[in-house]
Amino acid sequence: MIMKRILLFLLLFVLAFGRAQQLQSVTYQNWETAHWQDWMKQEFTYDTNGGVAIYAYQVWDETTLSWKNSSQTLVTNDTSGRPLQYVNQSWDAETNSWTNGSRSTYTYSAFGNAQDLVLDLWEDDHWNPFSRTDYYYDTLQFLNIESQQTWDADTADWVLSSSILYANDNNGNVLEYATGQWVGDALVLTHRVTQTFSATNKILTAITDTRTNGGQWLNYSKSAYAYDANDYLIFGLFQNWQAESGSWIDNYHHNYTNNPNGTIAEFTSQQWNNPAWVNFQRAIYDYGILGVSENEKASFTVYPNPTADFVQVNVRENGSAQVSVIGSNGKILKQQTLSEKHAMIDLQGLSCGIYLLLFHQNGTIQTQKIIKN
């Protein structure tokens, strides 16, 4: 049962803040011996413009039956709420103080789109360059190329490492995108995602394919989403491709309970354990004053999971977002900018295990649990 449980991740939708409502905290719980057990907690602090200034993680300590500091991110926003810089810190229990881990710095184009992100790591008491992401847009200002570079200390220069190519419709929905690694001057594609959308531009299905050495695309995973009469997300089904039977096999699903205004109240994740669905994880959301307008909402989806090397990210609203990969001890291991509506997060450098992804976009906070195997 334990092995089966680590094959599922927690996908959490946290809706955007407004002047009438701000998310105060999210409590995450695991299903343990027929009851829900506290696991991790997020708490949010806002600046005077309503943007998230600090989001902090705490982990539940069974020994003391209390929440313990784990990590935090300090955010600098401009007056429009766009993030200019993130500084991620980990809690040092021995010194009872925060220690720097990484720093992300953004620049934007004249159209307000993310132009580049530079990620620095704190080493030897100073910031050192680590990676850079550049974003390119078509004439409609939809993202069509995302290029990632790594810092070469020997040459003191950036080296192109990977790219993502996007194909958009006239509404900015990404119908297909493919990712690849640079080998010399050639981009070698390795993964492809094909998506469909509703008449209201809500994602309906997404199929991820992997590419063989011979250039053939093979099914890998599939996700499908359902919405209520108000167009609020209420269900997500995730399946893996089984080559032996030539069919899609259920893996897990998500059920969402929404407040009347469309903000999420509770999220429950269940895994398929033939012949029934069984509880896995849930999240409970605590807001300030209820009431947020329709145009203040945002949501994210992430798949596939489990994954060997990457996850695909879909952002419902336009605009740049920050994603942090957090280990089971609460420490931030990696950061990346999500520009526009779609991106890929590369996990190839991380060991197998359970990780938490945290997203921040103009005051919107989302977290999700993933498995790398």
Mean pLDDT score, 29-44: 93
Of residues 40 and 1, more confidently modeled: 40
Number of residues assigned to the chain: 373
Report pLDDT for 251: 93
Could you tell me which residues come within 8 angstroms of residue 11 by beta carbon, excluding any fewer than 6 positions away? Answer: 236, 254, 267, 269, 301, 302, 303, 305, 368, 369
Q: Give me the chain's average pLDDT, please.
A: 84
Q: How confident is the model at residue 18 (pLDDT cuts 50, 70, 90)?
A: very low
Report pLDDT for 64: 93
Report pLDDT for 355: 77
Worst-scoring range by mean pLDDT, 103-112, 130-139, 253-262, 319-328?
319-328
Write the pLDDT tens digit of every residue in 261-319: 888 899 999 999 989 999 999 999 998 654 333 333 445 677 676 776 777 777 766 66
Report pLDDT for 365: 61
Report pLDDT for 319: 63
Retrieve residue 300's tokens. 């994210």
- Could you tell me the residue range of the domain that residue 339 belongs to? 2-372
Write the pLDDT tens digit of every residue in 145-178: 999 999 999 999 999 999 999 999 999 999 999 9
Retrieve residue 173's tokens. 């929905």
Report pLDDT for 154: 95
Could you tell me which residues come within 8 angstroms of residue 142 by beta carbon, excluding any fewer than 6 positions away? Answer: 166, 168, 172, 340
Write the pLDDT tens digit of every residue in 210-238: 999 889 999 999 999 999 999 999 999 99
Mean pLDDT score, 48-72: 92
Worst-scoring range by mean pLDDT, 53-57, 242-246, 249-253, 319-323?
319-323
Output the pTM of the full model.
Answer: 0.72
Q: How many domains does the chain have?
A: 1
pLDDT at 13 over 70: no
- Which amino acid would we find at residue 327? G
pLDDT at 7 over 60: no
- CA 244 vs CA 7, 76, 117, 157, 249: distances in Å: 20, 51, 43, 47, 11
Q: What percent of the chain is modeled with pLDDT above 70?
A: 83
pLDDT at 4 over 90: no
pLDDT at 320 over 70: no
Report pLDDT for 299: 56
End-to-end CA, the chain = 17
Give CA–CA dist 245/20, Å, rounded: 51
